[in-house]
Amino acid sequence: MHGDAATIAALFAVDPVGLGGVALRASAGSLRDEWLALLRSLLPAGAPLRRVPLNTSDTALLGGLDLGATLQAGRPVALKGLLAQGDGGVLLLAMAERIGAAAATRFCAVLDTQQVVLERDGLAAHNPARLGLVALDEGASDEEQVPASLLERMAFRLVFDSATTNAPGPEWSADEVARARARLNKVAMDDDGLQALCAAAQALGVDSMRAPLLAARVARAAAALAECNTVEEEHIALAARLVLAPRATRVPQAPAQPEGSDPPPDPAQALEPAPEPEPADPQDAPESSPHPAPEQADGAGQNAPQPQPEALPDSDSSQALGERILEAAQAAIPAGLLASLKISQLARAKTPSAGTAGAAQKSALRGRPIGARKGEPRAGQRINVLETLRAAAPWQKLRQAAISSSTGTGADLRNDGRKDLASARGDGGAAPQRRIQVRKEDFHVARFRQLGQTTTVFVVDASGSAALNRLAEAKGAVELLLADCYVRRDSVAVLAFRGKGSELLLSPTRSLARAKRSLAGLPGGGGTPLASGIDAARLLAEQIRRKGETPIVVFLTDGRGNIARDGSPGRAKAAQDARAAAAELRTARVTALLVDTSPLAHAVAQQLAADMGAQYLALPYASGHAMSQAVSQAVSQAMGAVRGRS
């Protein structure tokens, strides 16, 4: 394997703990297996390389109470988790695009502190966990991504293609990587290189401060591989290309280069060993100047021009270094990344599988198991036998001793009677087995989580101004969104406001045909009772929430009303009532999205969205299909926020 894939494997093997990890986006196949085999061959001998399955429990991940050993020993016996077992090696996180937020937090804490803090089941321990992480991302679409908090702590993001696997480039053996690992602590990096990386990160729109720090560690690892004790410009350019370029969120404004300037260095040659400097020949040294040095000149030489200070050349060289590093990073930005970011900045906040179901709701009877809690099994709740035994195990020796001391001779007589009965039955007189003493305070009941249904409420402005401007495009966007909701098995409702009030065109339903018919027959014209539409949407959302479902309200309006709540005309009173209704909607904590359908984005709609706590989306001159895509992304973000609060 060649190209950036081999380079990333070698750099990560040099410093797996300092570089955090590699987000490897590739489906299962020969290429991924080949890269993992290369990484395994470059890691130190004996370093563990363990796979972490998806949905691994906290006990298996962090460690906990060894139930069998505890019951046998009569005292708490700790069991090491996968994170502690991977100390000094690398963990492979399978199907990382589907990892939950809680598990991602566990990995982030370990990558930050390099230790596992275990305080559960009566245990308290701090186990070292100096490890790197390879997140195996098998997502089939852009919506399936590794959690952002985990990506931020990993230096590399590797996507397999012809450029990353087949491009020519140097290769390294395990011995070369081992020598670089031993040399790493001796490699130094000056302040100019750090400033160049920070400037490049700022120009590329990389907000996280971890990115330039990780790039600096990559540059030091690259210098160690090149058998250098100082970080050179080529190593910094390579680090910017591999670490900062995949994180870019905007196109930098690069200054024009003067004519005749040298081209930027080729980052592909960054890791080649530096040539040994040739010894200087004394005969080639320049002859000494016949003029005396400034400090040796007489008084007549005091009027000679003084040498210029060296601060300006150093400043110019630092700026030039930053520009060259930025050019190297910009050249490596994926072609489709910045184009998609220009189309919609909302794409950066996508959540995995957002919009497929409602907010997570805790349940005591059914759903997906999410652990156990301390409590008695009442009202049909299920007892968690394993957690109950786990809570009772550390106290068995004390409880058995307490029972023996309280029963005294009576217990011995009962035991003798049991022995006689066993002898009569031919059991050999074996002593009866001790029963596990479980008390009320040990009970644990199972907890479940089920996903509630999502109901998307479309609130359409059907007034005269909307009909004149973009009612047709709004109808087309709503029809496309209705189709998306049908695929996700979500319920939809349609509200319209025009004239002097609002009207519920379609109650919450899954029927796509009914929704299209109600929308097709929507006439346009009349005043804009915006406050009435917001009030009707809030009441419907509260009714949906009382049914246990998750409401999401999507407003399609220009945000400018001219009919007050009481039906009287007047823009000033209508605007005041609309802002009051928006504040009530925000107080009700209803997730909302406002799509500004006016031909030109207006500050009134943006202020209204802020008053109701909704996301604002301006789409001037957009088609129905473009509006549908933008609203779908915004609804996905809203669903992610709902899940985060639940």
Q: What is the pLDDT of residues 572-608, one digit of tens each?
A: 899 999 999 999 999 988 888 888 877 777 788 888 9
pLDDT in tens, 87-123: 999 999 998 888 888 889 999 999 999 998 887 767 7
> 195 with 155, same domain?
no
Q: What confidence tier does 442 reach under pLDDT thresholds 50, 70, 90?
A: confident
Residue 293 lies in a domain: no
Measured CA to CA, the distance from residue 365 to residue 337 in angstroms comes to 45
Residue 292 has pLDDT above 50, yes or no: no
Phi, psi of 636 (to 5 degrees): -60, -40
> 397 with 493, same domain?
no
Inter-residue contact 219 to 238 (CB < 8 Å)? yes
Q: What confidence tier does 338 reach under pLDDT thresholds 50, 70, 90?
A: very low
Residue 337 has pLDDT above 90, yes or no: no
pLDDT score recorded for residue 349: 35
> 555 with 583, same domain?
yes
Measured CA to CA, the distance from residue 505 to residue 517 in angstroms comes to 10
Residue that finishes a domain, picked among 448, 473, 505: 448
Measured CA to CA, the distance from residue 104 to residue 111 in angstroms comes to 11
Residue 536 lies in a domain: yes
Domain with residue 107: its CATH number is: 3.40.50.300
> 61 with 94, same domain?
yes
Measured CA to CA, the distance from residue 238 to residue 228 in angstroms comes to 15
Give the best-scoring range by mean pLDDT among 116-130, 217-231, 622-636. Answer: 217-231
* Distances, alpha carbon 538 to alpha carbons 62, 274, 542, 609, in Å: 44, 68, 6, 14
Residue 616 lies in a domain: yes
Residue 626 has pLDDT above 60, yes or no: no
pLDDT in tens, 171-228: 788 999 999 999 999 999 988 888 889 988 888 888 888 999 999 999 999 999 999 9
Domain coverage including residue 110: 3-171
> 481 with 528, same domain?
yes
Domain with residue 579: its CATH number is: 3.40.50.410
Q: What confidence tier does 434 reach under pLDDT thresholds 50, 70, 90?
A: low
> What domain count does the chain have?
4
Helix (H, G, I), strand (E, B) or coil at 21: strand
Measured CA to CA, the distance from residue 248 to residue 238 in angstroms comes to 15
pLDDT score recorded for residue 345: 40
Inter-residue contact 183 to 18 (CB < 8 Å)? no
Cβ atoms within 10 Å, residue 576: 15
Which token pair is 456? 């998307």
Q: Is the model more confident about 280 or about 31?
A: 31
Inter-residue contact 131 to 90 (CB < 8 Å)? yes
Measured CA to CA, the distance from residue 199 to residue 619 in angstroms comes to 33
pLDDT score recorded for residue 156: 93
Residue 46 lies in a domain: yes
Give the least confident one: 224-228, 310-314, 456-460. 310-314
Give the best-scoring range by mean pLDDT among 73-82, 228-237, 360-369. Answer: 228-237
Sign of CA dihedral 524, 612, 626, 353: negative
Domain with residue 331: its CATH number is: 1.10.8
User: Angle CA(587)–CA(588)–CA(589) in degrees, nearest 5?
Assistant: 90
Inter-residue contact 504 to 540 (CB < 8 Å)? yes
pLDDT score recorded for residue 303: 46
pLDDT score recorded for residue 203: 86
Measured CA to CA, the distance from residue 552 to residue 560 in angstroms comes to 22
DSSP single-letter state for residue 263:
P
Which token pair is 199? 């400037």
Residue 312 has pLDDT above 60, yes or no: no
Give the best-scoring range by mean pLDDT among 234-248, 293-307, 483-497. Answer: 234-248
> 28 with 140, same domain?
yes
pLDDT score recorded for residue 355: 38
* Distances, alpha carbon 24 to alpha carbons 120, 145, 347, in Å: 33, 11, 20
Inter-residue contact 445 to 364 (CB < 8 Å)? yes
Terminal CA-CA length for the chain: 45
Q: Is the model more confident about 637 or about 133?
A: 133
Measured CA to CA, the distance from residue 172 to residue 272 in angstroms comes to 10
Inter-residue contact 198 to 247 (CB < 8 Å)? no
Sign of CA dihedral 351, 355, 356, 359: positive
> 245 with 323, same domain?
yes
Residue 285 has pLDDT above 50, yes or no: no
pLDDT score recorded for residue 342: 43
- Region 277-287: mean pLDDT is 46
Which string of b and e fits 289-298 if b means at least 16 CB within 10 Å?
eeeeeeeeee
Residue that finishes a domain, picked among 144, 171, 198: 171
Residue 351 lies in a domain: no
pLDDT score recorded for residue 2: 66
Measured CA to CA, the distance from residue 531 to residue 581 in angstroms comes to 6
Helix (H, G, I), strand (E, B) or coil at 35: helix
Residue that finishes a domain, picked among 410, 432, 448: 448
pLDDT score recorded for residue 630: 57
* Distances, alpha carbon 438 to alpha carbons 55, 68, 388, 404, 435, in Å: 30, 16, 8, 16, 9
> 46 with 98, same domain?
yes
Which token pair is 324? 């060259």
- Region 403-409: mean pLDDT is 68
pLDDT score recorded for residue 186: 92
Q: What confidence tier does 621 reach under pLDDT thresholds 50, 70, 90?
A: low
Measured CA to CA, the distance from residue 209 to residue 128 in angstroms comes to 25
Residue 346 has pLDDT above 50, yes or no: no
Give the least confident one: 55-69, 357-371, 565-579. 357-371
pLDDT score recorded for residue 112: 92
Residue type, 454: T
State the residue for tokens 């129905």: 624
- Region 325-352: mean pLDDT is 50
Give the best-scoring range by mean pLDDT among 381-390, 495-504, 522-531, 576-585. Answer: 576-585
Residue type, 514: R
> 485 with 388, same domain?
no
Residue 624 lies in a domain: yes
Phi, psi of 36 (to 5 degrees): -65, -35
Beta bridge partners of 361: 450
Measured CA to CA, the distance from residue 364 to residue 378 in angstroms comes to 10
Inter-residue contact 351 to 639 (CB < 8 Å)? yes
Inter-residue contact 403 to 366 (CB < 8 Å)? no
Please report which residue ranges of 226-283 form alpha helices under DSSP H: 233-239
How many residues in the chain?
646
Sign of CA dihedral 433, 439, 442, 446: positive
Q: Which percentage of the chain shows pLDDT scores above 70?
A: 66
> 462 with 419, same domain?
no
Measured CA to CA, the distance from residue 33 to residue 38 in angstroms comes to 9
Cβ atoms within 10 Å, residue 309: 8
pLDDT score recorded for residue 273: 53
Residue 257 lies in a domain: no
> 424 with 524, same domain?
no
Give the best-scoring range by mean pLDDT among 232-236, 410-414, 495-499. Answer: 232-236
> 626 with 565, same domain?
yes
Measured CA to CA, the distance from residue 629 to residue 141 in angstroms comes to 15
Residue 307 lies in a domain: no
Measured CA to CA, the distance from residue 560 to residue 571 in angstroms comes to 8
Measured CA to CA, the distance from residue 486 to residue 142 in angstroms comes to 21
Residue type, 411: A
Measured CA to CA, the distance from residue 457 to residue 504 in angstroms comes to 10
